[in-house]
Structure formats: structure tokens, C-alpha cells
Amino acid sequence: MKRLAPYLLILPGGLWLAIFLVVPMVFMASVSTQEGDVVNGFAQTFNFSVYGDALMQYKTQFLRSAGYGLVATVVSIALAYPMAYWIAFKGGNRKSTYLLLVLLPFFVSFVLRTVSWRFLLADDGMLLAPLKSAGLLPEDFHVLQTTFAVIGGLVYNYLPFMILPIYVALERVDPKVVEAAQDLYAARREAFTKIVLPLSLPGVFAGVLMTFVPMTADYVNAGILGGPENTMIGNIIQTEYLVNNDYPTAAALSFTLMAAMLIGIFAYAKALGTENVLEAAAR
Amino acid sequence: MTEIQVGTEAADAASRSPQTPAIELDEVVKEYVSHGEVVQAVKGVTLTIAEGEFFSLLGPSGCGKTTTMRMIAGFEDPSRGNVRLHGQDVTNVPPNRRDVNMVFQSYALFPHMNVWENVAFGLRRKKVAEAEIKRRVGEILEIVDLTGREKRRPREMSGGQQQRVALARALVNNPRALLLDEPLGALDLKLRQAMQIELKRIQREVGITFVYVTHDQSEALTMSDRIAVMNDGMVEQLGTPREIYERPATAFVAGFIGTSNLLSGTVDCLRSGFAVLRLGDEDQVLAEGGSFSAGEPIAITVRPEKIGISTEEPTGDLSIVRGIVSEVVYLGLYNSYTVSLAQGAEVTVFQQNALDSTSTAERGDAVWLSWRPQHSYAIGS
């Protein structure tokens, strides 16, 4: 019984993943190489060419998604790091209050939040209309249906996932270690670059993993805030599946996206792995 | 921002004359606001610490000793008063520009750096040439006996080893003073005692001024040249370990350092420089120190190991009191007796188990306690 206990702990979660992740994945992998249509049904033909065709057809959206994901990740780090730093080192005994504020948007539906941005930023909405009538902005100025709006939405929606891991990493940095650096002739800036920053990088690393992947695959922001020029790969998959009922193409795109992101993440981990970064910082 | 006031080695040596005190604190006060009230953590401390001295700040937690040290290091700004290092006023100089280094209580080693990088950190900030860094780090690691462990990370080392890395990391910079904040607190007893001797050896070897903060009186007595006993933000007594132990100036010092008996009574008369104290009818206590007049109430201290205990009346010009043994505790090295005096006071007596381990008196025995007059001192209130 005692030796079985660890396995019992993993059983519920393991079963859950097996049933709801592995089984559908195998099923979708099978669908991706089938041919046919929704009326006459699909048959397995091991048609692997769908992968190449889909990738060529939607190359632009793939690259755009990666670009949006990358820019949004960088912007998220720039916004999240100072916030996490402030909460961790200057938050005093109100740290949990500030963290709750960071998490507050999660209490409102993801779609609802994004749709309300649409109202806020509409061409004649409450923000732009007064500025336009005051002559501060040209009449044809718009925010919606631009790259800016989509990336802004992505950053807004995923920011807490960047703040939290960075905060956790910074919280664990012993203030005495920073004092030790200052005691050893490091100016404030050096104490940050040599001590605090390297010690918090695992948090940044985790934050990137937790935001880059869902942001790149996101379709809500591009769908609600973007225009035809901002279509991301998530939107294409959604359309192929739900509108065109082209299940094989949708499945093939999904797997291609997944593979691309896994490769990207592994390359990132290898190049910027925590150990490597820390080694470099120690010099 | 890269300019660091630590100067070159030559300039260092020139200003390190033995006449200039390493550290001077001049009426230093530290106040902070807590719940809307001004609290004084340090209430006007004045100290002069000589070059090459092993100086301890000793006191219970909350006595202001750590705050005092942090003001020397530059982590706390004094509310009033001045801090001078080698005659130079550094009151408003930030810690990274002060040529003192600190060994932190929890070591505060850089967890992402190995031993070598930890120790080289200060020299690299001072932009010392790489070859010179190599030589000095190698040298100091040898002194603290860590040669061969350069590539270890702090978390891969034992507490005692981490302690020595912390020491090396500070000492390698050849600071004007090394500040140690309860550095042995996290070690077990055996290792702590070994490190005390080790620290003293290293201090003699490098000849740097050590300022040592501790609440452990035996640690302070073992290592220090001089001790400042602090209580409630003030220095109660300043002196050599022997002075502090043998002649405690206040009741607090007497109680805090070792075990002490405190007896109070009135001065009966003066005899050959000693005050004769009346406690009970047959008791006479002679005390040194200060000038007294007959009828004056005073308190005296006497250490338990200075007192002889016997079931027969002792003779000679001794302080003699009578009492009943209320407790005998065998402690291996010595027996501890608690003796109740007629007027209610209790006296603790230590008797070494040198000759035979049978106790001279049992619980309930009537005994005479005696000690030489020079072993009891009248103390201020």
C-alpha cells in the first residue's frame, strides 16, 4: 500500500490528461491525414501532403502570429518586471492586496473584457470621439483593426501570467544578498544587474513560457480587436474547422503550430537556459 | 558612479597609522518611527575602536548592537551623530563607497555564483586587474582552508564552509575593518567553538580590525580584545573581557555576563579601604570600589566560582555569610549549590570537581560561604 501511494497521487490527474488530452490528440492526428468532406464523410488516406499545403497557404499568418507573440512577450516583460519588482521589494505588508489587483481582471470573462475594449477604442467611442471633435486627432484615425490593438489586447490579457512568476522569483531574492553586493562596492545599478536580475531570470523564463505560447495561438484578440490584415493562425484554424468544416486542414495547422512552438521553446530553453544565463551573469 | 573611495593599496597603507582609530562613533543616535511614535534604537553611542583590534558589541537582542554595526557599514543613516573611518567622516557615504566589509548573519552568499566568483565579487567591482584578483582570491581561500572548492556553489556546501566563504569574500578586499554580525549563530556548538579560535587566528594573521556583534557572552569573552556591553540602545560598560567579567559596572552587566550574585545591604563601617556591609547578624561582607559612608545602602556582586563553601566556620579576613543549602546540582565539571541566606537572598556557588566528586554539603545543611574581599564589587544602580 505504501509503495502504491505515490502512484495513487498521480492517478486522477494522469487519467484526466490521458482521456482529455492524449485521446483527442491521437484522434486529431488521425483526422489530419484523412480526406473527404463533411457531407460524404472523411476516410483515412494518410495524406501527409496536407501539412505542406496548409503551411504554404497560411505562411503569412504563421509568421504574423509568431511576430505578434514575440512583440507582445517583450512588451509584457517590459511592463511586468517593474511592477513585480515594486510589489516584491516595496510592497511592504500590502503585497497580497497588490497581487489581488493584478489578478482582478481574471474575475471578468476574457471575451467580455476584450469586447469592452472594442467599445472603449471604437472609432467614435468614448475615448477617440472627444479627441477627434477637439481636433487633436484626424477624423480617420482609428485604433481598432490595427496591429497595435491586437498586440495591446494580447499584452493586456496575458500580463498577469508574466507578473506572477517574475514576482515569485523576485520575492525569493534575499534583501541581505543585495546588501552584501552593495557592501562589496556594487553601486545600486550593479547590484541589480549582477544580483537581482540574474536571480529573477528563472521567473522571466517561466513568464515567457506561460505567455508566448497562448499569445501566439490566440484568436480572440485578433478576432475582436483586429481587422482582416491582423488575422492570426488561431483565427485560421477556427475558420477552417467551424466555418469551412475542413477538419484535416485545421488539424494539420494545429499540429504544425504545436510543433513549431515546441521547437521554438526548446531552442529558447537551450540558448537561454537558466544555468547558462546565471553562468554569464556571474562574470 | 564607478568612482569608489577605496583608493590604492599604497594610499591605504599610508593612512593606516596605528595612531588613527579605525572606527569612531560620536554620539550616534538612530531613531525610527513605529506606529506613529519615535523609537530610539541607539541612544547616543560613542566608541573608539583601535586599528587591528578585535572589538565586540555584546548585548541581548534589541539592544541596538546590530543597528550600531549597520551604521558603521552604511546600511543605516544615523539620525544624529557622526561615523568616522580612519579619521574620515563617512556619515553620509553609501555602503558601496565605504572601505569596510561585512559578514552577514545568514552569510548572504550569492547563490548563483560559485565560491571563486563570490570571493572575487568585491575585487571585480573595484576593477582590480584580473591577475591580481587571481592571486588574492587564491591566497585568501588558502587562509580560510577552502582551496580546491572554488567551483562549488554555496548550496553545495556545509554551514561551516559557507561561513568561511563569507569571511573570505569580505577579507579578500583587505578592508579597513571587518564587521561580523553574529556570524557563528547558525552553527552547532562544536563547530562554533572551533570557528571562534579560527576567527581569532585569521584576525591575527591578517591584522584587520574586527567588529564583532554577538549576544553570546562566552563568544565575546573568548575572542575580543575589548567588549562594549550594550543594553537598551546604550553602552553599559566598555572594557577588556577580564574587566567586564571581573568588575561588572552595572547590575545588567553582572547579570548578562556569566552568573552573578547580587547582594544588597547597608554600609556598616569602612575598614582598610573596604566597605563593611551588614547583611545578617553574624555576616560581614567586604566590598571594593567607590567611596561610601556608613549607613549608605549599596549592592555588591560576587561570581559563584569565587565563593568557598564549607560546613565549618572559615577564618581570615574574608567576606563571610551563613546560609542553608536549598539545592545541589551536579554539573560534571562542577557542583552548583543554591544557598538561602537568613535575610532571604539566594546565593549561587560553583565548586569545581577537581579533587573528589563528593559534594561538601547536602541539601538542608547549614554552611558558611566565604570569599576574598577583592572579589566583590559595589556596583552602580
Chain A residues within 8 A of B76 when measuring between CB atoms: none
| pLDDT tens, residue by residue, A13-55 | 999 999 999 999 999 999 999 998 888 889 999 999 999 999 9
Cα distances (angstroms) measured from residue A137 to each of A128, A140, A153, A198, B291? 8, 8, 22, 43, 92
CA angle B268–B271–B276, rounded 5-degree value: 35
> What pLDDT score does B260 carry?
87
> What pLDDT score does B5 carry?
43
d(CA A208, CA B178): 42
- Specify the residue for cell string 489530419: A32
Q: Mean of the per-residue pLDDT values for chain B? A: 87
Question: Is the Cβ of B95 closer than 8 Å to some Cβ of chain A?
Answer: yes
Q: Which of B96, B105, B110 lies nearest to residue A187, judging by beta carbons?
A: B96
In a domain, A30, yes or no: no
HEC secondary structure over chain B? CCCCCCCCHHHHHHHCCCCCCCEEEEEEEEEEEECCEEEEEEEEEEEEECCCCEEEEECCCCCCHHHHHHHHHCCCCCCEEEEEECCEECCCCCHHHCCEEEEECCECCCCCCCHHHHHHHHHHHCCCCHHHHHHHHHHHHHHCCCCCCCCCCHHHCCHHHHHHHHHHHHHCCCCCEEEEECCCCCCCHHHHHHHHHHHHHHHHHHCCEEEEEECCHHHHHHHCCEEEEEECCEEEEEECHHHHHHCCCEHHHHHHCCCCEEEEEEEEEEECCEEEEECCCCCEEEEECCCCCCCCEEEEEECHHHCEEECCCCCCCCEEEEEEEEEEEECCCEEEEEEEECCCCEEEEEEECCCCCCCCCCCCCEEEEEECHHHEEEEEC
In a domain, A237, yes or no: yes
Q: Which of B75, B101, B105 lies nearest to residue A184, judging by beta carbons?
A: B101
Compute the average pLDDT of residues B364-369.
Answer: 90
Question: Is the Cβ of A184 closer than 8 Å to some Cβ of chain B?
Answer: yes
- With a pLDDT cut of 70, the percent of chain B lying above it is 92
- With a pLDDT cut of 70, the percent of chain A lying above it is 95
What CATH number does the domain containing A195 carry?
A: 1.10.3720.10
Chain B residues within 8 A of A186 when measuring between CB atoms: 96, 121, 125
CA–CA min distance A80, chain B (Å): 23
Question: Is the Cβ of B110 closer than 8 Å to some Cβ of chain A?
Answer: yes
Nearest residue of B to residue A201 by CA position? B112
Q: Do A185 and B106 touch (CB under 8 A)?
A: no
Q: Could you give the number of structural domains in chain A? A: 1
Q: Which of B73, B105, B125 lies nearest to residue A186, judging by beta carbons?
A: B125
CA–CA min distance B220, chain A (Å): 24
CA–CA min distance B106, chain A (Å): 8
Q: Quick check: B15 pLDDT over 70?
A: no
Q: Do B126 and A181 touch (CB under 8 A)?
A: no
Q: Which of B225, B174, B159 is closest to B7 using CA atoms?
A: B174
> What pLDDT score does A281 carry?
55
> What pLDDT score does B2 carry?
38
In a domain, A141, yes or no: yes
d(CA B67, CA B181): 10
Question: Is the Cβ of A172 closer than 8 Å to some Cβ of chain B?
Answer: no
Q: Do B96 and A180 touch (CB under 8 A)?
A: no
In a domain, A23, yes or no: no
| pLDDT tens, residue by residue, A143-169 | 899 999 999 999 999 999 999 999 999
Q: Is the dihedral of CA B260, B261, B262, B266 positive or negative?
A: negative
| pLDDT tens, residue by residue, B257-277 | 988 898 888 888 877 777 787
Size of interface A-B (CB pairs under 8 A): 72
CA–CA min distance A199, chain B (Å): 7
Q: Which of B104, B114, B121 lies nearest to residue A176, judging by beta carbons?
A: B104
For B240-269, b/e burial (b = at least 16 CB within 10 A) is: ebeebbebbbbbbbbebbbebbebebebee
CA–CA min distance A176, chain B (Å): 6
Question: Is the Cβ of A186 closer than 8 Å to some Cβ of chain B?
Answer: yes
Compute the average pLDDT of residues A123-139.
Answer: 86
Q: Do A185 and B169 touch (CB under 8 A)?
A: no
Question: Is the Cβ of B114 closer than 8 Å to some Cβ of chain A?
Answer: yes
Chain A residues within 8 A of B101 when measuring between CB atoms: 183-184
Q: Do A181 and B121 touch (CB under 8 A)?
A: yes
> What pLDDT score does B120 carry?
97
Q: Do B110 and A179 touch (CB under 8 A)?
A: no
Q: Do A180 and B108 touch (CB under 8 A)?
A: yes
Compute φ and ψ for B7, nearest 5 degrees: 70, -175
- With a pLDDT cut of 90, the percent of chain B lying above it is 55
Domains of chain B: 9-99+175-252 (3.40.50.300), 259-379 (2.40.50.140)
Q: Quick check: A277 pLDDT over 80?
A: no
Q: Which of A158, A124, A154, A159 is closest to A225 using CA atoms?
A: A154
In a domain, A78, yes or no: yes
Q: Which of A176, A182, A185 lies nearest to residue B106, judging by beta carbons?
A: A176
Q: Do B122 and A185 touch (CB under 8 A)?
A: yes
Residue, of A127 and A159, whose pLDDT is higher: A159
Cα distances (angstroms) measured from residue B30 to each of B80, B105, B133, B170, B233? 7, 21, 37, 26, 9
Best residue in A172, A173, A182, A185 to probe B by mutation, most B CBs within 10 Å?
Answer: A185
In a domain, A37, yes or no: no
Compute φ and ψ for B216, nearest 5 degrees: -95, 110
Task: Indicate the pLDDT class of residue A279, thresholds 50, 70 and 90.
Answer: low
Chain A residues within 8 A of B126 when measuring between CB atoms: 185
Chain B residues within 8 A of A174 when measuring between CB atoms: 106, 108
> What pLDDT score does B9 carry?
45
Nearest residue of A to residue B178 by CA position? A183
- The whole domain housing A78 covers 66-281
d(CA B167, CA A95): 34
d(CA B279, CA B266): 8
In a domain, A253, yes or no: yes
In a domain, A113, yes or no: yes
| pLDDT tens, residue by residue, B239-257 | 999 999 988 888 899 989 9
Cα distances (angstroms) measured from residue B77 to each of A116, B70, B102? 50, 9, 16
